[in-house]
């Protein structure tokens, strides 16, 4: 069933917001004002949005170190995120988490997670809780091609099958486990095949195509919400920046990113399709672009002028003090 125009426009807005958030961070990081390590999601937007457009605040996701896209797609406040990344007191986690650890329980966002393979077992646990409560909700475990080699992920996948948990594993194969090629590090390079080995349905889709991801997620959700247990989506995608900001990317061909920006840009692909099919027009999409640019401008301005935490905040949110 085709999505109505308002839903299409919302999906585009989400993808565009992620893109501009990341492209802007790439610039702002060079000012030295942003502490810590940052891993940008540009290029992979169709995966986060294709999946999360199906979810509500009461569904759960567990994210990765490359988590900004998942946060935005799940509805986290963009300015709150920017403040968090800048280490401000009014950030989503009071500045205690930072880019790699943004979490927002009110949005069902269990957390970005800088431990590769850290998230999937937690997502399975959240899914088991959904099943126990019979609330009809699901949990999604996002991971990269790197995470599909971690033992924790295998344990989570088997547990989900054994307990028929309403969990959906989304592996974003962007070609690189940090700085090492997935063609080297992922034996067989067939993540969906591995998932089937655990006894769950799995499919591979074009992660640059919002519609392909969205359709795959619809099938996974149908299964999870009707007692069919877990399934896996393997989305083939790319990242437009390095593993982390500052990565010289010596392991990629010099023109690879430029080529992928030409051929694998999910925003371009989306726009081409919806305008060709007459679902949306350029004017509406351009208006979203302008709106998003304004939002990102305002969030950066807010973050730059926001107050840092005080030293007293350091020892709050602990449950044992000596």
313 binds other proteins (CB under 8 A): yes
Residues 113-132, one symbol each (x = binds other proteins by CB under 8 A, - = not), give: -xxxx---------------
DSSP-assigned states of every residue in 60-128 = EEE--SS-HHHHHHTT--HHHHHHHHTT-TTSTTTTSS-GGG--BGGGTB----SSTTSHHHHHHHHHH
Sign of CA dihedral 80, 84, 89, 92: positive
Report how many residues bind other proteins under the rule CB under 8 A.
Answer: 46
d(CA 202, CA 161): 12
Inter-CA distances, 316 with 87, 225, 307, 319, Å: 16, 39, 17, 9
Part of the chain binding other proteins (CB under 8 A), chosen from 29-37, 167-175, 194-202, 280-288: 29-37
Looking at residues 223 to 252 of the shown chain, list those that interact with other proteins (rule: CB under 8 A): 250-251
1 binds other proteins (CB under 8 A): no
Dihedrals phi, psi of 181, to nearest 5 degrees:
-65, 140
Sign of CA dihedral 205, 206, 208, 210: negative
Q: Smallest distance from the beta carbon of 93 to other proteins, in angstroms?
A: 8
Cβ-based nearer residue to other proteins, 201 or 309 = 309
Cβ-based nearer residue to other proteins, 52 or 192 = 192
Residues 169-208, one symbol each (x = binds other proteins by CB under 8 A, - = not), give: --------xxxx---xxx----------------------
Part of the chain binding other proteins (CB under 8 A), chosen from 71-79, 193-201, 271-279, 313-321: 313-321
Query: Which residue in 120, 146, 166, 230 binds other proteins (CB under 8 A)?
Result: 146
Q: Smallest distance from the beta carbon of 210 to other proteins, in angstroms?
A: 28
The answer to whether 245 and 26 have CB atoms below 8 angstroms apart is yes
Taking only Cα atoms into account, the Rg of the chain, rounded to an integer number of angstroms, comes to: 19
Part of the chain binding other proteins (CB under 8 A), chosen from 3-11, 82-90, 134-142, 284-292: 82-90
158 binds other proteins (CB under 8 A): no
Length in residues, the chain: 322
Cβ-based nearer residue to other proteins, 141 or 217 = 141
44 binds other proteins (CB under 8 A): no
Q: Smallest distance from the beta carbon of 13 to other proteins, in angstroms?
A: 28
d(CA 17, CA 50): 14
111 binds other proteins (CB under 8 A): no
In terms of Cβ atoms closer than 10 Å to its own Cβ (0-12, 13-18, 19+), residue 184 is exposed
d(CA 220, CA 231): 6
302 binds other proteins (CB under 8 A): no
Query: Which residue in 43, 69, 98, 121 binds other proteins (CB under 8 A)?
Result: 98
Q: Smallest distance from the beta carbon of 185 to other proteins, in angstroms?
A: 4
d(CA 184, CA 195): 19
Residue 261: partners with Cβ closer than 8 Å, 6 or more residues away: 43, 240
Largest CA distance in the chain: 65
Q: Smallest distance from the beta carbon of 263 to other proteins, in angstroms?
A: 25
Point out which residues bind other proteins (CB under 8 A).
Answer: 35-37, 84, 87-89, 91, 93-101, 114-117, 146-147, 149-152, 177-180, 184-186, 250-251, 308-309, 311, 313-315, 318, 320-322
């Amino acid at each position: 069933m085709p999505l109505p125009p308002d839903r299409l426009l919302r999906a585009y807005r989400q993808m565009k917001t992620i893109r501009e958030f990341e492209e802007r961070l790439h610039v702002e990081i060079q000012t030295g004002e942003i502490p810590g390590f940052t891993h940008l999601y540009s290029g992979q937007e169709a995966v986060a949005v294709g999946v999360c457009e199906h979810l509500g605040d009461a569904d759960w996701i567990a994210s990765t170190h490359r988590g900004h896209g998942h946060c935005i797609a799940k509805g986290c406040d963009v300015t709150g995120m920017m403040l968090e990344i800048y280490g401000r007191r009014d950030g989503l986690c009071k500045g205690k988490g930072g880019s790699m650890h943004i979490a927002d329980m009110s949005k069902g966002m269990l957390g970005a997670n800088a431990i590769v393979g850290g998230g999937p077992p937690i997502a399975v646990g959240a899914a088991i809780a959904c099943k126990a409560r019979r609330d009809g909700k699901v949990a999604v475990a996002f991971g990269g091609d790197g995470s599909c080699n971690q033992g924790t992920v295998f344990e989570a996948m088997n547990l989900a099958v054994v307990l028929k948990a309403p969990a959906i594993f989304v592996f974003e194969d962007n070609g690189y486990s940090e700085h090492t090629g997935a063609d080297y590090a992922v034996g067989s390079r067939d993540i969906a095949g591995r998932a089937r080995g655990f006894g769950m349905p799995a499919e591979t889709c074009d992660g640059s195509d919002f519609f392909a991801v969205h359709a795959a997620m619809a099938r996974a959700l149908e299964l999870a919400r009707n007692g069919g247990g877990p399934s896996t989506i393997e989305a083939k995608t790319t990242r437009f920046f390095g593993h982390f900001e500052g990565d010289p990317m010596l392991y990629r061909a010099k023109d690879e990113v430029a080529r992928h920006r030409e051929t694998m840009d999910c925003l371009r692909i989306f726009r081409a399709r919806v305008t060709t099919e007459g679902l949306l027009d350029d004017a509406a999409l351009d208006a979203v672009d302008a709106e998003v640019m304004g939002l990102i401008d305002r969030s950066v301005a807010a973050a730059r002028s926001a107050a840092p935490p005080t030293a007293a905040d350091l020892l709050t949110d602990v449950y044992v003090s000596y």
